[in-house]
Amino acid sequence: MLRLPLTALALLCALPASAHANPSFTLQQAADGVSGVTHQLSLTAGATAETVRFQTLGKPAISGATVDEQTAVSASIARCAGRWARFHDALGGLSSTTTKITIAPGATAVVQTTRSFTQPPWASDTLDATWSITPAQGMPFDLTSTAPDYRGPLGVELGFSVARVSEKVIAVTGTAGTGVNSGKVQLWGYAPGTKHATRLADARVRDGAWRIAALRLRKAGVWEFYARYRTATKTYANDASPCGTTVGVAEAR
């Protein structure tokens, strides 16, 4: 579920040292505008210095500890086979950062990372933060910092399939995310041998679905289709298919 309210810093959990061996851990969250949240992980050492390795998305800000090592791995680059590409990445391609720190005896290290949506999120997107912890002693484990409710407009995840009805006529059956009951979908397509897409048809979205029963195409060959959602309410935002769908349209024999 997407979350993010206008709330102040909220304490979620504090794990005692006995839960995972020293150090002890505390998670907190703070709203950052409408579409962001700052997650804070506090690590408190025991009677001796503690060395901890952790991994999370984004580059964390660290205070109260010595940073021994830090490496980042960029997010993989998505690709589309066809000409149309509008990739959905609500968090903006955050890298994965692995950090090793040393905390002095009795000291508390504070580690912060921010999650923000750079485009309207789908229902499956989240502002939660997961910390993969590897202590010097004990088994690795994960801590999940749960973001509060998100209240901004949602993107609409589109999907569709194409079936041949007759010569140069196709039927398009699509989805638009669970619960979407407003707005419309525009079907666009690259005709065989063309460089630019044209708008082919419109369909209303009802109960998370849309349909074009019979679309006559002007020529046979390989077409590439994609869909655009156009909103009618403030609940949703305009959206589009991430990649095009290639379909061969044959002449009648």
pLDDT digits (tens, 9 = 90+) for 187-216: 999 999 999 999 999 999 999 999 999 999
Residue 2 lies in a domain: no
Please tell me whether the overall predicted TM-score, pTM, comes out greater than 0.85 for this model: no
Task: Kindly state whether residues 141 and 42 are assigned to the same domain.
Answer: yes
Residue 177's region, left for phi above 0, alpha for psi from -120 to 50, else beta, is left
**Segments forming the whole domain that contains residue 211:** 159-249
Distances (CA, A) of 252 to 146, 193, 219, 221: 56, 20, 12, 12
Last residue of some domain: 115, 145, 175? 145
CB atoms within 10 A of CB 184: 15
Task: Kindly state whether residues 223 and 117 are assigned to the same domain.
Answer: no
Q: Has residue 121 got a pLDDT over 70? A: yes
Q: How confident is the model at residue 22 (pLDDT cuts 50, 70, 90)?
A: low
Task: Kindly state whether residues 128 and 176 are assigned to the same domain.
Answer: no
Quote the pLDDT of residue 14.
41
Task: Kindly state whether residues 52 and 140 are assigned to the same domain.
Answer: yes
Residue 64 lies in a domain: yes
